[in-house]
Amino acid sequence: MTFLVTGGAGFIGSHLVGELVKRGDRVVIFDRVAPPTINYIRNVVVVQGDIRDIFEILDVIKRYDVKIIIHLASLLIPESQENPFKAFKINCEGALNIFEVARIVDKKVKRVIYASSGAVYGPAEYYGNKPVNEDAPIRPLNVYGMCKAFVEWMGGHYYNSYKLDNIGLRFALVYGPGRIRGATAFVNELIVNPALGKPAKVPYGAQKFNWLYIKDAVKAILLACEVERTRHRVFNIGGDIRTVYEVAEYVKRLIPNAVIECEPGALGWQMEFDITRAKEELGYMPTYTIERGVRETINIIRAQMGLPSLET
């Protein structure tokens, strides 16, 4: 089966492509940047393209007989906030192009999976500081969240009007090796800097985050690809809930000489998810606690730099 992964050169995309290749699937990466480290891998085709060009996407789907589209291409929070027009073109129009192309080819594409975000939710106090499920009112606080809310609505429209099978995954804070961009890229400094003997200075010390390790995020995507059918179209995908302070303290336990400064502040939106729907309909359960994910991230980074792994 051939999968099209838009944004396949990015953080989540590159990890996902690796898993698909391990399974023996054929993958077409569609990204504005060609990942040179993937070009030589068997069963992977890299197409440099613009998600805003619907005809280019249509050509790729027809040329490679794509059966499942995994849409991850997106302008992230800081860039979206700085340039709302560009965010609309890439995040909203880009996703709309994916839905429309999948409709045009008329059932040749079996399903579209797309990345949504917990950024569609409002501040925690709006929900009584309790975990939210997918039926909670959405109240985006930034341009990125507004774009994701639009994409979810259009996914529902294409399902209801054209029976286009699509599933949206509201990811929490996805972390792991390779995370270097976005509003939550501070996690890279929090974990990677101490792993390499460098000091770290990070924001949001007291805020609770939903820490979703990259391998659990990829697992959720694969489950969404494989499930026969679902009653709902959108799912919360979360992991372990901890404050930044708590994660920093764990890093210090692993690396006693680590220098980590946690500053105050809040990212804003609700990060405590109820993932009951994903458990029941996708069979999703996170397998990585924050301890396991942080330790694995540190050891991968240290191995890449030729440093010894942490003792177990």
In a domain, 264, yes or no: no
In a domain, 253, yes or no: no
Confidence of residue 249 (pLDDT cuts 50, 70, 90): very high
DSSP H helices in 118-261? 143-162, 186-195, 214-226, 244-254
Compute the distance between CA of residue 28 and CA of residue 4 in angstroms, rounded to an integer.
Answer: 5
Handedness of CA 275, 270, 15, 304 (dihedral sign): negative
In a domain, 14, yes or no: yes
In a domain, 257, yes or no: no
Compute the distance between CA of residue 236 and CA of residue 168 in angstroms, rounded to an integer.
Answer: 9
In a domain, 277, yes or no: yes
For residue 11, how far is the Cα from the chain centroid?
A: 8
Tell how strand 26-31 and strand 44-48 pair up: parallel
Question: Are 10 and 1 a contacting pair, CB within 8 Å?
Answer: no
Average pLDDT, the chain: 93
pLDDT, residue 88, reads 97
**Rounded to 10 degrees, what is the CA torsion of 175, 116, 143, 210?**
-40
Compute the distance between CA of residue 97 and CA of residue 101 in angstroms, rounded to an integer.
Answer: 6
Higher pLDDT, 135 or 42: 135
Compute the distance between CA of residue 94 and CA of residue 284 in angstroms, rounded to an integer.
Answer: 27
Q: Count of domains in the chain?
A: 1
Confidence of residue 312 (pLDDT cuts 50, 70, 90): low
- Tell me which of 114, 121, 144, 288 is the catalytic residue: 144
- Residue that the structure tokens 């302070």 belong to: 245
- What's the mean pLDDT in 206-211? 91
Percentage of the chain beyond pLDDT 70 is: 96
What's the pTM value of the predicted model, to 2 decimals? Answer: 0.95
Compute the distance between CA of residue 4 and CA of residue 25 in angstroms, rounded to an integer.
Answer: 11
Give the orientation angle of helix 214-226 with respect to helix 11-23, to 10 degrees. 60
Compute the distance between CA of residue 127 and CA of residue 136 in angstroms, rounded to an integer.
Answer: 8
Q: What are 209-240's pLDDT values in tens digits?
A: 999 999 999 999 999 999 999 999 999 999 99
Confidence of residue 71 (pLDDT cuts 50, 70, 90): very high
> How many Å is the maximal CA-CA distance in the chain?
59
pLDDT, residue 43, reads 83
pLDDT, residue 107, reads 86
pLDDT, residue 184, reads 67
Q: Over 70: is that where the pLDDT of 40 sits?
A: no
Percentage of the chain beyond pLDDT 90 is: 82
Q: What are 272-308's pLDDT values in tens digits?
A: 999 999 999 999 999 999 999 999 999 999 998 998 8
DSSP H helices in the chain? 11-23, 54-64, 77-82, 84-87, 94-104, 143-162, 186-195, 214-226, 244-254, 276-282, 290-304
Q: Over 80: is that where the pLDDT of 180 sits?
A: no
Residue 28: its H or E element: strand 26-31
pLDDT, residue 91, reads 98
Domain range spanning residue 121? 2-174+213-238+269-286
pLDDT, residue 54, reads 97
Q: Over 80: is that where the pLDDT of 35 sits?
A: no
In a domain, 307, yes or no: no
Q: How far is CA 87 from CA 58, 142, 145, 231, in A?
A: 22, 11, 11, 30
Q: Over 60: is that where the pLDDT of 162 sits?
A: yes
* Domain CATH for 16: 3.40.50.720
Q: Which two tokens stand for residue 300?
A: 């991968």
Compute the distance between CA of residue 258 and CA of residue 253 in angstroms, rounded to an integer.
Answer: 9
In a domain, 273, yes or no: yes
Question: Are 234 and 152 a contacting pair, CB within 8 Å?
Answer: yes
250 carries an active-site annotation: no
pLDDT, residue 179, reads 81
Compute the distance between CA of residue 174 and CA of residue 151 in angstroms, rounded to an integer.
Answer: 20
In a domain, 191, yes or no: no
Q: Over 70: is that where the pLDDT of 38 sits?
A: no
